[in-house]
C-alpha cells in the first residue's frame, strides 16, 4: 500500500473521439511510474459505438471504474487522482462536482466550449469542485483561450493551477513529454489532504 499522504493512483479517461490507448494517456502511464495509472474507456467505446453517451451514463461509468481501481489497488478512493483529455476530463470533473471522492483532477485540453461557440460554456459545475485541479492546455485551443479558461476556473473552490503549452491546439500533438512533466511536477507538490 502507498503511504497515506500520497495519491494512491491516477484514473485517466479519453476524449470523445479517442480511446484509452490515446498517446497522451499512454505516455502519462509510462511517465508517472511507479504511480499506479489505469486508462479506461467509456461504455460507448467498449460497445463499439462512436457517439458518446449522455453525461449521466458517462459519470456513472467513471464512478464504477474509480471504485474498481481503488479496490484493486487497495487504497481509499479519496486518494485517487482523476482526469483525462477533453471530454474525459470534463466528465471526471462533473463526477467530483456531484460528490465523488477524489484527491485531485488532472484536466488536459479541457473543452470550455465548442469551437466558435463561446456562449455554450461547460462550467456550470465548477463552483462545486473543491479538490486541487491541474489544467494543461494549448494557448491556441479553439475550445477555450487562456483568458477564458483562467476567468472561468476562478469559480472552482479548490486550488487551481494552469500549465500552458505555447502554440498548442486542442490535440496537443508532439508535446507528451511536456504534459508528463507538468502532471508529475504537480503531483509532487500536492498539499496534504485536509
Give the pLDDT confidence of 36-54 residue by residue, as tens digits. 999 999 999 999 999 999 9
State the pLDDT at residue 130: 97
In a domain, 29, yes or no: yes
CA distances from 151 to 102, 134, 145, 162 (A): 24, 15, 10, 12
In a domain, 194, yes or no: no
User: Domain span at residue 92?
Assistant: 9-188
Q: Is the pLDDT of residue 5 over 80?
A: no
State the pLDDT at residue 1: 37
- CATH number for 14: 3.40.50.1820
Q: How many domains does the chain have?
A: 1
Q: How far apart are CA 167 and CA 77, in angstroms?
A: 36
In a domain, 83, yes or no: yes
Return the DSSP state at 50: S
Q: What is the mean pLDDT of residues 6-11?
A: 95
Q: Is the pLDDT of residue 153 over 70?
A: yes
In a domain, 126, yes or no: yes
Extract the runs of DSSP E, i.e. beta strands, from 65-182: 80-85, 104-108, 133-138, 160-165
Mean pLDDT for the chain overall: 95
pLDDT digits (tens, 9 = 90+) for 84-119: 999 999 999 999 999 999 999 999 999 999 999 999
**Would you say 137 and 165 are in contact if contact means Cβ atoms under 8 Å apart?**
yes
Q: What is the mean pLDDT of residues 151-180?
A: 97
State the pLDDT at residue 194: 66
* pTM as predicted: 0.95
Cβ atoms within 10 Å of 1's Cβ, excluding its own: 8
**Would you say 10 and 34 are in contact if contact means Cβ atoms under 8 Å apart?**
no
State the pLDDT at residue 23: 97
pLDDT digits (tens, 9 = 90+) for 60-90: 999 999 999 999 999 999 999 999 999 999 9
In a domain, 130, yes or no: yes
Q: Is 13 helix (H, G, I), strand (E, B) or coil?
A: strand
In a domain, 193, yes or no: no
In a domain, 1, yes or no: no
In a domain, 109, yes or no: yes
Q: How far apart are CA 40 and CA 46, in angstroms?
A: 10
Q: How far apart are CA 93 and CA 84, in angstroms?
A: 10
Report residue 141 as a C-alpha cell.
485551443
Q: Is the pLDDT of residue 142 over 50?
A: yes
Which residues partner with 104 through β-bridges? 81
Amino acid at each position: 500500500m502507498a503511504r497515506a499522504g500520497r495519491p494512491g493512483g491516477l484514473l485517466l479517461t479519453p476524449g470523445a473521439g479517442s480511446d484509452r490507448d490515446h498517446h497522451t494517456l499512454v505516455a502519462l502511464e509510462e511517465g508517472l511510474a511507479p504511480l499506479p495509472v489505469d486508462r479506461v474507456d467509456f461504455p460507448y467505446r467498449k460497445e463499439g459505438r462512436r457517439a458518446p453517451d449522455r453525461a449521466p451514463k458517462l459519470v456513472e461509468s467513471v464512478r464504477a471504474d474509480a471504485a474498481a481501481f481503488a479496490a484493486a489497488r487497495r487504497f481509499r478512493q479519496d486518494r485517487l487522482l482523476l482526469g483525462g483529455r477533453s471530454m474525459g476530463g470534463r466528465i471526471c470533473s462533473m463526477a467530483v462536482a456531484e460528490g465523488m471522492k477524489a484527491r485531485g483532477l488532472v484536466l488536459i485540453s479541457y473543452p470550455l466550449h465548442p469551437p466558435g461557440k463561446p456562449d455554450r460554456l461547460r462550467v456550470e459545475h465548477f463552483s462545486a469542485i473543491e479538490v486541487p485541479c491541474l489544467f494543461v492546455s494549448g494557448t491556441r485551443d479553439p475550445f477555450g483561450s487562456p483568458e477564458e479558461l483562467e476567468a472561468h476556473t476562478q469559480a472552482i473552490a479548490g486550488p487551481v493551477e494552469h500549465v500552458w503549452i505555447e502554440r498548442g491546439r486542442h490535440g496537443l500533438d508532439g508535446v507528451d513529454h511536456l504534459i508528463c512533466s507538468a502532471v508529475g511536477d504537480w503531483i509532487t507538490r500536492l498539499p496534504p489532504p485536509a
